Amino acid sequence: MDTIVVKNLKKEYKIAQKEKGLAGAVKNLFVRKYEILRAVDDISFTIPKGEITAFIGPNGAGKSTTVKMMSGILVPTSGDILINGRNPQKDRVHVVQDLGVVFGQRTQLNWDLRLGESFEMMRHIYKIPKAMYEENLKVMDDILGIEEIINIPVRQLSLGQRMRGDLVAAMLHSPSVLFLDEPTIGLDVEGKYAIRKFIKEINRVKGTTIILTTHDLGDIEELCKRLIIINKGKIVEDGPLEELVNRIAPNRNLVVEYYDENYVEHEQAKIINVEGNIVTYQFSKKEITGAGLICDISDRAKIKDATIKEVKIDDIIRIAYRG
């Protein structure tokens, strides 16, 4: 059974149109014009158990709105959502008992008190058995080193430490589904590394189904097998990252450095640049592998060095956003 099923999901907002100036403001009191904004426009997808999926898309694309509907915060205009077979609007309490949610821009920790107090609070709210609580805390301490910050008031934690705290708080009740809304936003390299490691480990150890929204392409490359790209409320791409890259950018470049200026040609590769003894070939991954091409060339001439230039993932994403 799929852990998450979303079918024909739509969310519309009424946006009041305001006219400018004082005259406009008075007019607005009597005549209200609304424009319907379709933030999420007929989205469908399913996510099997234990998968890590990234939701990406430009700002205002509808990612967060979708996550908020899936977690029971917003009521959809139409469409169906099932999380573990239950509807998050009709059955909110049951759904959230088995759901962890972290918003990168917002904390659920108690600002005034030591971090540990927030964890205890979760224990009471989710009725977590003592043994399970201790066990989870220990597992997560091994990954995130939470013990060293557990006695610091939340307001004095750095952003990276606070994020670690938020992740732990969201996982203490061992939810089978975890939603992460921009979990690495604003974090430094160390912070991002810790968060990604945590996500990978939790997914491996507990088989948690994870959806994350992000603008950080490093998150996607390191974590996600599957990518859902949303733009203007619609899904424009859905599939494995590799497949997307191969489809949007099927060609790769191979840069070969020769000992002198005598270079060779190859029937499955096009020479796109020659600079002294450095030659750039372009080839299609469908026709020949990078290794095959290097092999062929080195058979025909002596070469000093060869590098395959991967396409930059941001370029791929940019092309995908354009639709």
Partner 1 sequence: MERIKHYIDVSLYHVKLAVLTMLEYPANFVGWLLSNPIQFILGFATIKFVVARFGTINGWDYGHLAFLYGIAVISHAFSMIFFVQGWFMGEYVVGGDFDRYMLRPLSVLFQFFFTQFNIVGFTDLIPGVCVFAYGCHKVHFHWSIGNVMAVLLLITGATLIRGGIYIIMGTFSFWTKSRNDFAGFTQEFFDKTTMYPLSMYPRMMQIILTYIIPIGWISYYPAKDLLSGTGMGAVISLVIGVVTMTLAALFFKVGLRSYESAGQ
Binding site for partner 1 (CB under 8 A): 13, 39, 60, 62, 64-65, 68, 71-75, 92-94, 96-97, 99, 101, 103, 106, 108, 110, 112-113, 117, 120-121, 124-127, 153
- H or E segment to which residue 294 belongs: helix 290-300
Q: What's the chain's length in residues?
A: 323
Instruction: Give the CA angle between residues 148, 149, 153 to the nearest 5°.
Output: 150
Least separation, in Å, of the C-beta of 39 and partner 1? 6
Amino acid 244 reads L
Is 71 or 184 the residue whose CB approaches partner 1 more closely?
71
Q: How far is the CB of 107 from partner 1 (least distance, A)?
A: 9
112 vs 305 by CB, closer to partner 1: 112
Nearer Cβ to partner 1 (14/247)? 14
Q: How far is the CB of 203 from partner 1 (least distance, A)?
A: 20
Phi, psi of 45 (to 5 degrees): -165, 160
Tell the smallest beta-carbon distance from residue 24 to partner 1 (Å).
Answer: 19
Q: Quote the least distance from Cβ 179 to partner 1, whole Å.
A: 9
How many CB atoms neighbour CB 65 within 10 A? 21
* Minimum distance, C-beta of residue 26 to partner 1, in the bound complex (Å): 18
Closest to partner 1 by CB, 72 or 290 = 72
Give whichever of 68 and 162 is closer to partner 1, judged by the CB atom: 68
The least CB distance from residue 90 to partner 1, in Å, is: 12
Buried b (16+ CB within 10 A) or exposed e, 279-305: bbbebeeeebebeebbeebeeeeebee
Q: Which is closer to partner 1, CB of 83 or CB of 297?
A: 83
Tell me whether strands 278-284 and 177-181 are parallel, antiparallel or unpaired.
Answer: unpaired
Q: Which H/E stretch holds residue 192?
A: helix 189-206
Burial 157-189 (b: 16+ CB within 10 A, else e): beebbbbbbbbbbbbbbbbbbbbbbbbbbebee
Is the CB of 28 or the CB of 110 nearer to partner 1?
Answer: 110
Show the beta-strand stretches assigned E in the chain: 2-17, 33-48, 52-56, 78-83, 99-103, 177-181, 209-213, 226-231, 234-240, 251-258, 269-275, 278-284, 303-309
